[in-house]
Amino acid sequence: MAFHYPNGRKFMPQPAKIKPSHSKEMSYSNRGKTLEDDLNETNQYYLTNGIAVIHKKPTPIQIVDVHYPKRSAAIIKEAYFKQASTTDYNGVYKGKYIDFEAKETKSTASFPLKNFHDHQIKHMQAVTAQGGIAFVIMRFSITDTIYLMPAKELFVYWERMHAGGRKSITIQEVETTSTKIPLGFQPRIDYIKVIDLLIKENF
């Protein structure tokens, strides 16, 4: 049975780790991996190779009841998903603060803004005001294309929506304002390479 976080996001139980098969036919789409899996692998690669220290934050939970059985670990018996007050990923690259949210869509024509929440936009605005590097990694799952959109571009579309405009970003707008991240083998989604380019252009 499907269930959802209070923010409408689907709960994805952690899949059992499967050894990678080395079949040449294996493509991204049929690996059954999520954007989150790929970003976690990428971040692990960055950490292992001393490139950056970036982690996904744990899902915030409101704990109500915990049992403490003898001779075994504490069991949480009642808890609820809470809405996060920040984005999901943050960390450090060359001393700079990095902060991003990762989102997927099955749409091919546009990226729906309902994927974002007001508190996430406010958080990215606060980070930007503080000189941090904030952005979104967007995946169009049908075409398996991934873009990095700087937060300041996202703010424009967010404000347009609040002014009564469209509730999504067209694919043409995404292409104009964002940088495509080519998929690699290791790291899978080399977003730091894009950040490097953007830092040179003063983001």
Task: Tell me the binding residues for Mg(2+).
Answer: 86, 88, 101, 120
Residue 165 C-beta: closest distance to a second copy, Å: 28
Of the two residues 43 and 168, which places its CB atom closer to a second copy in the complex?
A: 43
- Is the CB of 82 or the CB of 152 nearer to a second copy? 82
Q: Rule CB under 8 A: is residue 80 a binding residue for a second copy?
A: yes
Note whether 57 binds a second copy by CB under 8 A.
yes
Instruction: Write 182-191 long-range contacts (CB < 8 A, 24+).
Output: 183/28, 183/144, 183/146, 186/45, 187/41, 187/42, 187/45, 187/46, 188/38, 188/39, 188/41, 188/42, 188/45, 189/35, 189/38, 189/39, 189/42, 189/137, 189/146, 190/42, 191/42, 191/100, 191/137, 191/148
Nearer to a second copy, 112 or 132 (CB): 132
Q: Site for a second copy (CB under 8 A): how many residues?
A: 53
Q: Which amino acid is at 1?
A: M
- Binding interface with a second copy (CB under 8 A): 1-6, 11, 13-14, 47, 50, 52-53, 55, 57-63, 66, 68, 73-82, 84-86, 90-99, 123, 126-127, 129-132
